[in-house]
């Protein structure tokens, strides 16, 4: 059963990112080519497509790690795509969980410092940031005994939980999860997905969930879009897209990506 429609948190309208392939080349790469989507408060928008289709590039545009060449990004009604100045307030509200926790975490920092770092960057005093970081470790089901551990001393699932705690530290309204479970074994994948769902139920966080795992999208998302060569070829409620895909590419994608793992441990 789908969640009821909620007020729009993020609206992406006709977003484009075009660039020349090389310094002297005339060839234009249309990495994102007229994409539109809307995510409501407390909802999950799933994004699927083959590697190179533009999913992660779209995410980086929304995060404003890349400035789009056209279109609009409206967050809580404010046009983020046209902002050239300080994006610090926006970055408090929109966070990201990366696929590669190893690459995203500084190996020289302890777990407690990794989680408190965003708080310190945004002006929270050290003692208060340390206390909040300890609470966040508990929130993502990590023992306080691991607070002084370095990333190499933690398992893959534990490192990904550190990444989630970092993303939660500034109480964001939207989290972009880019293949956040792809590097995990099935048991840790189920635990992480259940954790994300629990956090959404508790605090109303919205997610943009990018994944090759079709079962994950089917079970977790409210809306889903299929991306191919920089465009959405199909988008709509997850039940409709999975039960009756209308586009040839969507049917081919589903046919070639049958996931044997049913994620039966999802709550």
Is it the case that residue 21 has pLDDT exceeding 90?
no
pTM: 0.88
**Rounded-to-integer distance, Cα 180 and Cα 191, Å:** 12
C-beta of residue 262 within 8 angstroms of C-beta of residue 215: yes
254 CB-near residues (< 8 Å, 6+ apart) = 214, 242, 245
Is residue 51 classed exposed, middle or buried when 0-12, 13-18 and 19+ CB atoms within 10 A define those classes? exposed
Is it the case that residue 127 has pLDDT exceeding 90?
yes
**What pLDDT band is residue 26 in, cutting at 50, 70 and 90?**
confident
Least confident of 66-70, 110-114, 220-224, 262-266: 262-266
Is it the case that residue 20 has pLDDT exceeding 90?
no
Is it the case that residue 3 has pLDDT exceeding 70?
no
Residue 135 phi, psi (nearest 5)? -65, -40
Condensed to tens digits (0 to 9), the pLDDT of residues 220-254 reads 999 999 999 999 999 999 999 999 999 999 999 98
Is it the case that residue 42 has pLDDT exceeding 80?
yes
Q: Cα 91 to the chain's mean position, in Å?
A: 13
Is it the case that residue 263 has pLDDT exceeding 50?
no
**Rounded-to-integer distance, Cα 34 and Cα 30, Å:** 9
Q: What is the mean pLDDT of the chain?
A: 88
The three-state DSSP-derived secondary structure of the chain is CCCCCCCEEEEEEEEEEEEECCCCCCCEEEEEEEEEEEEECCCEEEEECCCCCCHHHHHHHHCCCCCCCEEEEEECCEEHHHCCCCCHHHHHHEEEECCCHHHHCCCCCCHHHHHHHHHHHCCCCHHHHHHHHHHHHHHCCCCHHHCCCCHHHCCHHHHHHHHHHHHHCCCCCEEEEECCCCCCCHHHHHHHHHHHHHHHHHHCCEEEEECCCHHHHHHHCCEEEEEECCEEEEEEEHHHHHHCCCCHHHHHHHHHCCCCCCCCCCC
CATH fold of 8-256 reads Rossmann fold (3.40.50)
Is it the case that residue 264 has pLDDT exceeding 50?
no
In the chain, % of residues over pLDDT 70: 92
Query: What pLDDT is attached to residue 176?
Result: 96
Query: What pLDDT is attached to residue 258?
Result: 60
Condensed to tens digits (0 to 9), the pLDDT of residues 72-124 reads 999 999 999 888 777 888 988 999 998 777 778 999 999 999 999 999 998 99
Query: What pLDDT is attached to residue 88?
Result: 84
In the chain, % of residues over pLDDT 90: 64
Is it the case that residue 63 has pLDDT exceeding 80?
yes
Condensed to tens digits (0 to 9), the pLDDT of residues 153-176 reads 999 889 989 999 999 999 999 999
Letter string b/e over residues 103-117, b meaning 16 or more CB atoms within 10 A of that residue's CB: ebbeeeebbbbbbbb
| Domain residue ranges of the chain, discontinuous segments joined by + | 8-256
């Amino acid at each position: 059963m789908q969640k009821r429609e909620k007020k729009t948190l993020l609206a992406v309208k006709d977003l484009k990112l075009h660039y020349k392939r090389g310094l002297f080349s005339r060839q234009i790469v249309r990495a994102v080519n007229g994409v539109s989507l809307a995510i409501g408060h407390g909802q999950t928008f799933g994004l699927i497509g083959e590697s190179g289709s533009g999913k992660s590039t779209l995410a980086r545009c929304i995060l404003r790690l890349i400035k789009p060449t056209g279109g609009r990004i409206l967050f809580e009604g404010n046009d983020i795509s046209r902002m050239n100045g300080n994006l610090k307030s926006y970055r408090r509200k929109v966070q990201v969980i990366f696929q590669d926790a190893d690459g995203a975490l500084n190996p020289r920092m302890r777990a407690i410092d990794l989680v408190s770092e965003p708080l310190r960057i945004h002006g929270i005093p050290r003692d208060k940031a340390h206390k909040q970081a300890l609470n966040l470790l508990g929130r993502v089901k990590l023992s306080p005994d691991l607070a002084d551990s370095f990333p190499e001393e933690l398992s893959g699932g534990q490192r990904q939980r550190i990444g989630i705690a970092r993303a939660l530290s500034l109480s964001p309204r939207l989290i972009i999860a880019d293949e956040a479970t792809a590097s995990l074994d099935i048991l840790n994948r189920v635990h992480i997905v259940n954790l994300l769902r629990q956090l959404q139920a508790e605090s109303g966080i919205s997610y943009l969930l990018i994944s090759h795992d079709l079962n994950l999208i089917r079970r977790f998302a409210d809306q889903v879009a299929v991306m191919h060569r920089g465009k959405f070829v199909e988008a709509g409620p997850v039940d409709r897209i999975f039960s009756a895909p209308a586009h040839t590419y969507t049917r081919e994608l589903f046919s070639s990506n049958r996931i044997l793992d049913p994620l039966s441990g999802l709550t």
